[in-house]
Structure 1
Amino acid sequence: MTAIASTLGGIQRVNLMPRAEIARRERSTLTRKWMWGVVGAVLVALLIVAGALTLKFLADQRLAAEQARSTQLLAEVSALADVSKALATEQELTEFRAEAMAPDFAWAPVMTALSAALPSGAALTGFDLVSGGAPQTDDPASEVGLTGTVAVTSPDPVDIVAAVRELREVPGVIYADGQSVTSSSVTEGSYSYLLTVTLDQSIYSGEFAIEEGQG
């Protein structure tokens, strides 16, 4: 038996759907795609708007918190205004006292030192001394702290040259010299001497000076 090969490649199919229906379906498919695209775009836009609103809300919350903190700090500063004013007044008074009391020194030690340098029998009976100004340098020995005259009385004549030499050896004395010598028989041979002396600022106490960093 001879086999007969089929020349048919398969069953042929014919699309009998009208062309108008095909076009309608294509339009419907394209419309759905556009609708889904628009919905997706709207959803993305809504997400962006929601994110922006969330960020704005958080920023507003931080701003409100900072404003509240600023208000609290201003209230605290206002409450401390009286304290700051008192501290400023105290600082001004301290500076005024330091300036006014810069030439402060103790008279007794100065007079004792000068008296100790006088010859035996001589006594310091008076003085006319003027205090110097405030320190201008860090070397108190280079600035005048006290200058004027001292009165010395002795029952016997005094070697004024030797007395002046002794006075110049007193710590703090910059200058000493004899100014005048008088004698009085009324007081049974009492001799009076007027000496000029100048002391440096090492005699200053520095008690009221403002320490570095205190101001």
Structure 2
Amino acid sequence: MARTAPAFAFAGVPRVNLMPPLEIERRKRASLVRGWAWVVVAAMLVVGVIIAGAFALRLAADQALALEQANTNMLLAELSSLSEVSDAIAAEGELTAFRADAMGSDFAWAPLVASVTGALPADVRLTGFDLLSGGVPQTDDATTEVGLVGTMTLESPNPIDIAATIRELRSLEMVADVDGRAVTTAEQVSGAYTYQLDVTFDQSVYSGKYAATEGAE
């Protein structure tokens, strides 16, 4: 019969832990402490990064705020200077409006007298007038509003055709109406005839020099 080899069981090299249990416990605690220490250090690093980031953000915000405050102060200074200009413009507008109201009926006597005397017969003189100025223009059509109203006095060495003279005066563009009022007979001393006429001029006699311009307040 064939012989079989005996079977041997190999359990490995036997080991014996000779470290005291206290040392094992101490090492476990030391390892645990080191782990927590790293956790604390990591947490402190994270907190430091967060604090540094917050500080950087705060610094950037402070700088931005300082810049905006500087811009605001500059704008306020500009607005302050502009307010003086605005006040001056407003005052100028008020004065211009006041002048337009006060001088709206301004007119030149010389052209008016020249027009009237040019329509009179050659031997007739304009010796006097008593006229009142009308109001400030209310419309753009100067021919529809009264500019001057009152009386004129004419003098002639000879009797004149007063009706023809009135028609000639009425033909003037500036004359709205004219009519005879009184005729005085020849005076013994001067030998002149005096005629009084009621006359109304429209506002085309106004110079318009001080009229308020459009857009002026």
TM-score when scaled to structure 1? Answer: 0.75
Q: Does the 8 Å CA contact 2:123/2:156 hold for their aligned counterparts?
A: yes
Is the aligned partner of 1:49 residue 2:51? yes
User: Could you say what secondary structure the match of 2:130 adopts?
Assistant: strand
The offset of 1:54, in angstroms, is 1.8
* Residue 139 (structure 1) aligns with: 141
Cα distance in 2, alignment partners of residues 3 and 157 from structure 1: 185
Is there any run of 5+ residues in structure 2 with no aligned partner, and where? none
Please give the alpha-carbon distance, in whole angstroms, between the structure 1 residues aligned to 2:163 and 2:41. 119
- Tell me by how many angstroms 1:151 deviates: 0.7
Give CA deviations for 1:174-200 in whole Å, capped at 9, x if unaligned.
121112222123246522111111112
In the alignment, the residues of structure 2 paired with residue 19 and residue 140 of structure 1 have an alpha-carbon distance, to the nearest angstrom, of 125
Question: 127, 146, 152: which one pairs with 2:154?
Answer: 152
Whole-angstrom CA distance in 1 between matches of 2:27 and 2:212: 99
Asked whether 1:175 is paired with 2:138, we answer no
- Cα distance per residue 1:77-113 (max 9 Å; x no partner): 6678877766655444333323221111111111111
Larger radius of gyration: 2
- Structure 1 vs Structure 2 CA RMSD: 3.9
User: How big is the shift at 1:66?
Assistant: 3.6
1:47-96 superposed Cα distances (whole Å, 9 cap, x missing partner): 22222222222222233334345445556666788777666554443333
Q: How far, CA to CA, are the matches of 2:172 and 2:147 in structure 1?
A: 14
Instruction: Name the residue aligned to 2:132.
Output: 130
Which aligned runs of 4 or more in structure 1 are off by greater than 3 angstroms? 6-42, 65-95
The question of whether the paired residues in 1 share the 8 Å contact of 2:147 and 2:206 is answered with yes
1:102/1:135 contact within 8 Å kept: yes
SS at match of 1:174: strand
Structure 1 residue 203 corresponds to structure 2 residue 205 = yes
CA distance in 2, matches of 1:37, 1:139: 96
Match in the other structure for 1:99: 101
Question: What TM-score results when the alignment is normalised by the length of structure 2?
Answer: 0.74
Q: Partner amino acid for 1:127?
A: F
Tell me whether 195-204 or 27-36 shows the greater mean CA deviation: 27-36
Aligned length: 215
Q: Does 1:193 align with 2:182?
A: no
Structure 1: segments with no counterpart, 5+ residues: none
Q: What secondary structure does 2:185 align onto?
A: strand
Native 8 Å contact 1:183 1:189 kept in 2: no
